[in-house]
Structure 1
């Protein structure tokens, strides 16, 4: 089963998720500031279903997820990790 690790960033509302279990994206980068922008990206679209997710940045090596300031990471992080693990397991 794939696993991810969360790392803090200089922005307290953003976490960087990495893995040793493959790539999150086949190449390039993808940045989305809303669910509407992420309509053609299944991973980003799923991440935006989490209440409080405000921005998603995807590279082959990592995913950075930003949340709204009003939401606590304890309610966002477990869902992000579950979606990323499912995504990696399905690749």
Structure 2
């Protein structure tokens, strides 16, 4: 079952957004400081590759995604939603090939 972003919440950091999800993505906090650190997690890796994330934090039913200062939030949020819609859990690969 894919994840759905139920709300985007601003943070004090103008380059970070908190994304509330419809269900937990992790059992506790997990941070990814770069794409290399996300190599073992398909959802985090896809957020780096497809959404342009610079750092990511998973914690229960929310994630925080940081973006480059030059990226616009409308595009980044759309890409975050798309990545999460293709994923079934943070340990499963995105559902790119499911019917």
Q: Please give the range of the TM-score, normalised by the shorter of the 2 chains.
A: 0.7 to 0.9
Alpha-carbon distance in structure 2 between the residues aligned to 1:45 and 1:15? 18
Other-structure match for 2:28: 28
Structural RMSD (CA): 1.7
Task: Tell me how many residue pairs correspond in the alignment.
Answer: 87
The runs of 5 or more residues in structure 2 that have no matched partner are: 90-99
Q: How does 1:76-87 map to 2 (within 5 A)?
A: 76-87=76-87
Query: Given the two structures, how large is their TM-score scaled by the length of structure 1?
Result: 0.84
Give the structure-2-normalised TM-score.
0.78
Note the C-alpha offset of 1:3: 2.7
Does structure 1 residue 75 correspond to structure 2 residue 75?
Answer: yes
Aligned 8 A contact 1:31 1:58 in 2: yes
Within 5 Å, which residues of 2 pair with 1:1-91? 2-4=3-5, 5-19=7-21, 21-25=22-26, 27-50=27-50, 52-87=52-87, 90-91=88-89
Q: Which runs of 5+ in 1 are unaligned?
A: none
Please say if residues 50 and 76 of structure 1, whose CA atoms lie closer than 8 Å, have aligned partners that are also in contact: no
Change over 3 Å in CA distance of 1:52–1:46 after alignment to 2: closer
